[in-house]
Amino acid sequence: MLIFGSKELVNDVIQRDLCIGCGMCMDICPYFKIYRGKSAMLFPCTLEQGPCNAHCPKTEVDLDGLCRFYWNEPYDGRPLGHFSGILAAKAGKQVKAGFQGGGTVSALIAYALEKKMVGGAILTGAEGIEPVARLVKKPEQVAASAGSKFIAAPTLSALNQAAREGERRLAVVGTPCQMTAVAQMRMNPLAREDFEDPVALTVGVFCNWALENRQLTAYLSERMDIAEITGMDIPPPPAEVLVVKTTTGEKQFPLKDIRKLIPHTCFICTDMTAEWTDVSVGMYEGRSGWNTLLVRTRTGAELVDKAVADGWLKTEAFPEANQKMLSNAALAKKERSFRHADRQGYLNQDDEESRPALRVPPEVLARFLG
Amino acid sequence: MTNQTLSADPFNLIITGVGGQGNVLASKLIGNMLADQGFYVTIGETFGASQRGGSVMSHLRISTKSSLSPQMPRGKAHAIVSLEPTEAIRVLQEYGNPEVKVISNTRPVYALEVISGEISYPSDEELKGWMQKLTGAYWLIDATDQAVKMGNPILGNVLLVGALAGIGDLPLTKEGFRKVMARTMPASKLDINLAAFDKGLAMIN
Amino acid sequence: MNTISDGRPGEKRLMQGNDAFARGALEAGLAVAAGYPGTPSSEIVENLARVSRERNIYVEWSVNEKVAMEVAAAASFAGLRSAAIMKQVGVNVAADFMLHLSETGTRGGMILISCEDPGALSSGNEGESRPFAKLFEVPLIEPADFQEAKDMTKWAFELSEEIRNLVMIRSVTRLSHASGNVVLGELPAETPAARFEHKGDFMDPDKGYMVPFPVHFRHLQMQKKLRKAVSIFEDCPFNSYEGPEAPEVLIVTSSAGYLYSKEAIQLLGVEGRVGLLKMGTTWPLPPKFMEKYLSTSPVIYTVEEVLPFLEDNVKILAAELAGRIGVKTFHGRSDGTLPSVNELNPDLVAAGLSKILSLEYTAMAPAYAEIAQAAGATAAPARDLAFCAGCPHRSSLWTIHNVLEMDGREGFLCGDIGCYTLGVMATGYGTLKTVHAMGSGTGLASGFGKLKQFGMDQPVLSVCGDSTFFHAVMPALVNAIHNQADMTLVVLDNSGTAMTGFQPHPGSEEDAAGNAVPALDIAEIAKAMGAHVEQSDPFEVAATQNKLLSLLDKGGVNVFILKQGCALGPEKKGRKLFDVSVDEDVCFGENCGCNKLCTRVFKCPGLKWDPEKKTARIDDVICSGCGMCASICPSGAIQKKEIA
């Protein structure tokens, strides 16, 4: 994989408006800051290579390289990525309430913390509607970070900070873009001799798109007092609304308006289910109170088995029809995004001025572009 | 006026340094020591940005005849006292000539671009090489280090004034120094300043 | 310790030009002096303030130059001798009053000393105030050396009383901030009494109204006074000629140009060929005196600082006298014999003169010059101006810069006049984007803050110092609040007029003479005006950053006061808050994660880069112990330890 520095990061990501604000370049150095979803380089850094660029999920992401590293296979563009099992899941009786949907993520993280399988977890909390990065060390603190945020969050800054402070064996929960960043970091792309992987468990959450922090804030500010907001939800179809929970009740906003607030970087994302993780969790369409759980690695499988055995997680078989639906949705996202990214010139291109967002094996790409 | 004569009339002396080093004080001190003896002394100072890290320069014109331009003509310095080594080079560029004598402090004050690493500071050898080429005689003195040992880096100025007295081109005496100091400084600081003057004088002999 | 009031009459002293002006005013029996600090004028008021108790005079740092001139004029109206003192740009501020003052005239002798800065050594302009003398029809005099600085100041009071109008004295940096020998005169023994007489006839100059009406009559009076000044100038000891009877070239000069010209003539050895006419009274020019010397030479070379003011007036006079003195050839700033910008020096004057006389002049042997240039290029690294070690402005601009970058909407900072003007340069991270006159940053921000209706969504910030706030920012802030602009004014309050040497201002607890006075509170003033006010310590980086970030999202007018004393201020100078050191084992140096943030980017002069060890170091002689670098060090290698 080709490694560049901050100059190229600014050129290829920030200036192209591809930054999703995942937090991976933040808190590794004093130069990059993310404020309300937007990253900025405060001063030029002259180094030619840096983790800021190497870990970024929006530039020089080598899908084949990732696939070979994690699965020992070439990248073939399969819709849901590699996985060993797919289940319906929800939090078990041992888990107290306070989560959204099925509570599978909260249950798994709380369980891993309880059983000391991990030393801490990097989660996304919220202050009002502003998502904030959190390092959580106690199972009972997990619930406070439960729930979808719908806004791109600088979660990984907390991972950088914790790693700096010497934390190892961390769990990370994140969206596909965030988990791509984490996966790249774990490959030690700069081949640093003193590299120690700070991550012991990766939990991905399904994602089709996120909302742009500042635009959403501006949109909501015009329509309500954003200081009152306590949470947000997008109920399953056919509702087609964003529900905003406030201290004085709920407000609904049509999704057709809300979709305009999706940053264009989401339209080059080819990953719906967070493919480079131990487990991935998402909505179970048509079955309220349950999640879809993809088990990808042996670490993931062990965690799920133990959590089920100890009553922290409840699982059932996932119907084939649903799997087909999920797969189709993931495939649709891939097709859409590969095509869009290709049109924008973000795939595989090599020129003096800029570098590609994604590198994809040409034969795989050809299949998607048809 | 005065019956004394000068080795050159006018005698052109430049005191240079970086803002905050006490350049103006040193030039006032020397100016007063000479004015006390009846010389016409004209001092021109560029210190608008003195406290802000810029180059600072005082031109002293000493004459038995009249006041002179507070800016001396190019290439006409007889002596240069520099509180910072690269400032001596900068002054030589405009006011130097093959006979000029230079007394320079060795302590560097780094320019912003040197601190930031954009440019490098010349080595001691390089500085000496240029001094050799551009002066009739030069003395490099670790005035600041000596002054720090005496308790206050600002005394470096006085050491250099002592050294200037030591080269003997201007009628500067310890007695004259004491007289000016007594007028301009609290009495409590007199002894340490006299000691610094002596130390500078001794560094030339 | 010497002050300007010591010394026996007849004693010869080495005096700075500004000391000499102050001494001249004392010898004239000055009772009231007022000014606003500005290089190169400030020492005059400081010197007078230092002896104000002993001499029983009243000296103040006024809120701005217009008020200073009004305060001085009041003293004149009450029969006292008074002076208004300022730098060239201050005269612009005072100009409106000055025009009307010229109409009413003065009673006690009143002078204006304008200290100007040719070459803009410490200014944002090469402004000239001499044209104001012509514009407002008052006499202008220009001393050429240190003795004249004193003697002409004293004489100016007499002239003012003779003609009953303001007399303007113009100085330049090379006089105000240069020193030379001055023979002292007597100081008067008595303090005069003040009384404003106003019960006389409307038009009575001693007891009547000080009003500009009836305008045409007063205007005629102004012109009569000026004609009286001209007749006095015909016999003025400060106009003199030296040189041959019929010179090939006649140099007409004033101010510092005189000493440069004298030296240039000596450098070229042309004493027998060139005449030197030094004019102390440059407006209006005395025609008879001028005719005598202009008639002696066919070539006139005018040597003066900044604009061709003297040159133009000489040309007008020469045209009027052409029938008697013949046709002349003129050289000077206008025809390129002297450069049209920047200050003069003996070499430039000599170069011009050698061109006129077709002489060769080489200041420095070419072989030597070549080596010297090479030495300069490699061994004399350029020194950009920088905020001092421990300067709170560096910290404030650091945070403002970072906040504007983080905010990401291309917000910008409108600047003003003070040390923080250096914010346009690397030492302030290039954060300041506009610089004009005192108070203009906030005036511009008030305007920018109204452009939303045209789609401008950039956050608008302005910055000013505490002294500037009182001087000219207050009206701009009133304007912004009343007209509902969206902007944030950042006040960098370092407790004094730091740039010019720490003069007090209306926010100070002591006045110019050291008396306790009520200090006006900037925060309370801004609140009373209706601004949203926040305060922070710029050394508290995180808190300051968060407050400013949130202010950028707030509409309306915000005032953010960043309070931290100047590193050179009386409370702080030479006193370190922290012992700062670098743990070399922890310093990241050039590595990723830092890449020399402290030396390469933050750039405090108290830091050094050790190229061998590849770590930062502290220069103990320069470090002022503010601890700011420890706050920004990403690895925690820079450590600060509080000094008990």
Tracing tokens 């430049």 back to the chain, one arrives at B14
Question: DSSP character for B135?
Answer: -
Select the residue from B55, B56, B57, B115 to test the C interface by mutation, using most C Cβ atoms within 10 A.
Answer: B115
Selected residues 9-38 of chain B with any CB under 8 Å from a CB in chain C: 18, 20, 28, 31-32, 35, 38
Whether residue C592 and residue A42 make contact (CB cut-off 8 A), yes or no, is: no
Residue C511 pLDDT: 94
Contact A29 C595 (CB under 8 A): yes
Please tell me whether residue C186 adopts helix, strand or coil conformation: coil
pLDDT digits (tens, 9 = 90+) for A19-53: 999 999 999 999 999 999 989 999 999 999 999 99
Question: What's the rounded mean pLDDT across residues B122-131?
Answer: 96
| C406 close to A (CB below 8 A) | yes
Task: Supply the pLDDT for residue C498.
Answer: 82
Smallest CA–CA distance from A192 into chain C, residue: C592
Residue A86 predicted with pLDDT over 80: yes
Whether the Cβ atoms of residue C278 and residue C324 lie closer than 8 Å to each other: no
Output the DSSP codes for C152-164.
HHHHHHHHHHHHT
User: Do the Cβ atoms of C376 and B122 come within 8 Å?
Assistant: no
**In this predicted model, what pLDDT tens digit does every residue of C609-627 receive, in sequence order?**
998 899 999 998 889 999 9
Question: What's the whole-number mean pLDDT along residues C83-107?
Answer: 98
Tell me the mean pLDDT in the region C303-320: 98
Q: What residues does each domain of chain B span?
A: 11-145
Q: Is B119 an interface residue toward C (CB < 8 Å)?
A: yes
Q: CA–CA separation, A60 vs A348, rounded Å?
A: 9
B40 Cβ under 8 Å from any chain C Cβ? yes
Q: Identify whether the C-beta of residue B116 lies closer than 8 Å to the C-beta of residue C600.
A: yes
Distance CA C499, CA C26 (A): 27
* Predicted local distance difference test score (pLDDT) of residue A94: 85
Quick check: C217 pLDDT over 80?
yes
Q: What does the alpha-carbon distance between residue C77 and residue C195 come to, in Å, rounded to a whole number?
A: 8
| Cross-chain Cβ contact C384/B89 below 8 Å | no
Please report which helix (H) or strand (E) contains residue C637, including its range: none
Per-residue confidence (pLDDT) for residue B115, from 0 to 100? 86
CB contact under 8 A, C593 and A47: no
Topology given in CATH for the domain delimited by C392-563? Rossmann fold (3.40.50)
Six-digit token string for A279:
């487990």
Q: Is the pLDDT of residue C128 over 70?
A: yes
pLDDT of residue C260: 98
- pLDDT of A67 reads 97
Q: Which residue of A has its CA nearest to C402?
A: A42
> Distance between CA atoms of C588 and C613, rounded to whole angstroms?
11
pLDDT given for residue A370 in this prediction: 80
Q: Identical fold at C12-233 and C392-563?
A: yes
Residues C135-166 pLDDT 10s: 999 999 999 999 999 999 999 999 999 999 99
**Total residue length of chain A:** 370
Q: Is A355 helix (H, G, I), strand (E, B) or coil?
A: coil
Predicted pLDDT of residue C500? 84
> Distance from A241 to chain C by nearest Cα, in Å?
28
Say which residues have a Cβ less than 8 Å from residue B122's Cβ, sequence separation at least 6. B85, B86, B89, C378, C379, C381
Q: What is the mean pLDDT of residues C221-240?
A: 98
Helices C366-379 + B85-95 axis angle, to 10? 150
Min CA distance, B125 vs chain C (Å)? 11
Closest CA to A204 of A98, A297, A268, A130: A297
Name chain B contacts of C596, Cβ cutoff 8 Å: 116-117
Q: Rounded to the nearest 10 degrees, how much is the dihedral formed by the CA atoms of A343, A346, A349, A355? A: 150
Identify the CATH assignment for C240-357 out of 3.40.50.920, 3.90.1150.10, 3.40.50.300, 3.90.960.10. 3.40.50.920
Edge-to-edge strands, sheet with C487-493: C432-434, C412-414, C460-465, C487-493, C557-563, C532-536
- Find chain B residues with C-beta within 8 A of C600's C-beta: 116-117
| Whether A40 and C429 lie within 8 Å, measured CB to CB | no
DSSP secondary structure code for residue A14 in this structure: I
Mean pLDDT, range C412-439, rounded to an integer: 95
Give Cα separations from C25 to B163, C4, C10, C117 (angstroms). Answer: 39, 10, 17, 22
Chain C nearest-CA distance from A119, in A, is 24
Which of A24, A32, A42 has the most C C-beta neighbours within 10 Å, making it the best mutation to test the interface with C?
A: A42
Token digits of residue B52: 């802000």
CB-based contact, A40 to chain C, within 8 Å = yes
**Starting at the edge strand that comes first in sequence, how are the strands of the sheet with C32-35 ordered?**
C58-61, C32-35, C82-87, C110-116, C167-172, C140-141, C281-283
Say whether pLDDT at B51 is over 60.
no
* B185 against A101, higher pLDDT: B185
**Percent above pLDDT 90 for chain B:** 77
Residues of chain B contacting residue C568, judged by C-beta atoms under 8 Å apart: 51
Q: Which one of 3.40.50.970, 3.20.20.70, 1.10.3720.10, 3.40.190.150 gives the CATH number of domain C12-233?
A: 3.40.50.970
Q: What is the pLDDT of residue A27?
A: 93
Radius of gyration of chain A (CA): 19
Tens-digit pLDDT profile for residues A158-168: 999 999 999 99
What is the percent of chain C where pLDDT is above 70? 100
When pLDDT is averaged across residues B29-49 and rounded to a whole number, the result is 89
Of B42, B73, B144, the CB nearest to C347: B73
Residues in a beta bridge with A282: A292
Query: Exposure of C212 by Cβ count < 10 A (0-12 exposed, 13-18 middle, 19+ buried)?
Result: middle
pLDDT exceeds cutoff 70 at A2: yes
Amino acid at site C317: L
* pLDDT number for residue B184: 85
Instruction: Locate C128 and state its tokens.
Output: 């000239």
Q: Specify the pLDDT at position A98.
A: 59
When CB atoms are compared, the residue of C405, C407, C595 closest to A46 is C595
Cis peptide before C518 (omega within 30 of 0): no
CATH architecture, domain C578-642: 2-Layer Sandwich (3.30)
Q: How far is CA A267 from CA A256, A270, B89, in A?
A: 16, 8, 61
B1 pLDDT higher than 90: no
Band (C225; pLDDT cuts 50, 70, 90): very high
Residue of chain C whose alpha carbon sits nearest to that of A165: C635
Is B68 part of the contact surface with chain C (CB cutoff 8 Å)? yes
What is the pLDDT, as a whole number, of residue C238?
98
Which helix (H) or strand (E) segment is A202 a member of? strand A199-205
The domain limits of chain C are 12-233, 240-357, 392-563, 578-642
C354/chain A closest Cα distance in angstroms: 51
Rounded to an integer, what distance in angstroms lies between the CA atom of residue A219 and that of residue A259?
12
* Each residue's pLDDT tens digit, A324-362: 999 999 999 999 999 999 999 999 988 888 899 999 999
Instruction: Indicate the CATH number of B11-145 among 3.10.20.740, 3.40.630.30, 3.40.920.10, 3.40.50.460.
Output: 3.40.920.10
Integer angstrom CA distances of residue B90 from B56, B82, C374, C385, C640? 11, 10, 11, 16, 36
pLDDT at A183: 98
Residue type, C419: C
Q: What is the ipTM of this complex?
A: 0.95
Q: pLDDT per residue over C431-488, tens digit each?
A: 999 999 999 999 999 999 999 999 999 999 999 999 999 999 999 999 999 999 999 9
Backbone phi, psi, residue A86, to 5° = -135, 130
Q: How confident is the model at residue B19 (pLDDT cuts 50, 70, 90)?
A: confident
Q: Tell me which chains share at least 3 CB pairs under 8 Å with chain C.
A: A, B
Q: Is the pLDDT reported for residue A181 higher than 90?
A: yes
- Measured between beta carbons, the chain A residues lying within 8 angstroms of C592 are 28-29, 47, 49-51, 190
Nearest chain C residue to B84 by CA: give it: C380
Interchain CB contact of C601 with A (< 8 Å) = yes
3-state helix, strand, coil in chain B (%, to 5): 45, 20, 35
Look at the block and give the residue holding tokens 């922090």.
A213
d(CA C461, CA C446): 9
> What does the mean pLDDT of chain C come to?
96
User: For residue A294, what are the β-bridge partners?
Assistant: A86, A280
Note the pLDDT of residue B49: 55
Of all residues in chain C, the one with the smallest CA distance to B145 is C621
Question: Per-residue pLDDT averaged across B195-203, rounded?
Answer: 96
Element (H, E) at A53: helix A51-54
Q: B52 at the C interface (CB within 8 A)?
A: yes
What pLDDT, in 10s, does the model give residues C497-518? 888 888 999 999 999 999 999 9
Q: Residue C73: CB partners within 8 Å, gap ≥ 6? A: C82, C84, C97, C101, C106, C110
Structural domains for chain A: 6-212+263-369 (no CATH), 213-261 (3.10.450)
Closest residue in C to B33 (Cα–Cα) = C14
Q: Where are the beta strands (DSSP E) in B38-146?
A: 40-46, 55-63, 79-82, 101-105, 137-141
Round to whole Å and give the CA distance between C3 and C12. Answer: 14
Q: Is-cis flag, bond preceding A362, omega within 30?
A: no
**C622 contacts on B by Cβ (under 8 Å):** 109
